[in-house]
Amino acid sequence: MERPVIDFATVLASSAHDMKNGLCLLIQLIDQLSEKMRLNNMDEAEELASIHYEASRINTNLLQMLAMYRAEKDVLPLNVDSYYLDETLEELVAQNSLYINNKSLSVTFDIEDELSWYFDQDLVSNLLNDIFVNAMRYCNSSIVVSAKTLNDQLHVTIADDGNGYPEHMLQSAISSPQDIELNISRTGLGLYFAQLIAAAHEQDGVYGSIKLENGGSLNGSIFTLVLP
């Protein structure tokens, strides 16, 4: 009997989808547990925050893998609608509140009043969550999340007071997605995903983009997502 041909990429994508659902449930359970428990013990609080952080990070990786698989198969759907930026960004921060509170981080917002835009909320939220999680990890104590319109485009920025982006990341951000070295680290995967999702948003021949810088008011790393 001839052995059936197995498309490993399809199997991997299906498995990643199942794992993603399981991790989402795990993250919800951790949130519920943190609300029920009175964590007077700092060690317990830190351990629970670390579990939540790692589960969220793995979930983000799985979502990125699925999106890139679908993009490779030309089946990456964009569900574009109008969303208020304050609601989207406040939800992003709320999802990471356990880690923020445990590490005593300061997160402030600078968002234009009544600012709304058209984009795929799931994909953009996942992109921004990956950047925000890295900011939480590498900042000293402060993060600023901002959104504004500039030249008829949406600019969403996440800045921190850490040591800034290393030079190879600054160079990768201006490279085309196919030139990013994914084998260097998970950072390469995150940048590839960010560029992929940004460029998937197009309006009248203008495509979305990302920008990485160092400096600013916090003298750390600055990530900017630009959407047409």
Assign a CATH topology to domain 8-227.
Answer: Heat Shock Protein 90 (3.30.565)
**pTM of the predicted model as reported, rounded to 2 decimal places:** 0.78
> What string of pLDDT tens digits covers the 228 residues of the chain?
444 444 545 555 566 656 666 666 677 666 666 666 655 556 666 677 777 777 777 777 777 777 776 666 666 678 899 999 999 999 999 988 888 888 889 999 999 999 999 999 988 998 999 899 889 989 999 999 999 999 999 999 999 999 998 887 887 666 555 555 544 444 567 788 888 889 889 999 999 999 999 999 999 999 999 999
Q: In degrees, to the nearest 5, what angle opens at C-alpha 7 toward C-alphas 55 and 57?
A: 10
Classify the C-alpha dihedral 172-177-178-183 as positive or negative.
positive
pLDDT tens-digit map of 6-50:
454 555 556 665 666 666 667 766 666 666 665 555 666 667 777
Residues in CB range of 114: below 8 A, 6 or more apart? 84
pLDDT tens digits, residue range 45-66? 667 777 777 777 777 777 777 7
Tokens for 218, please give them. 């916090």
Comparing CA positions, the residue from 78, 96, 94 lying closest to residue 208 is: 78
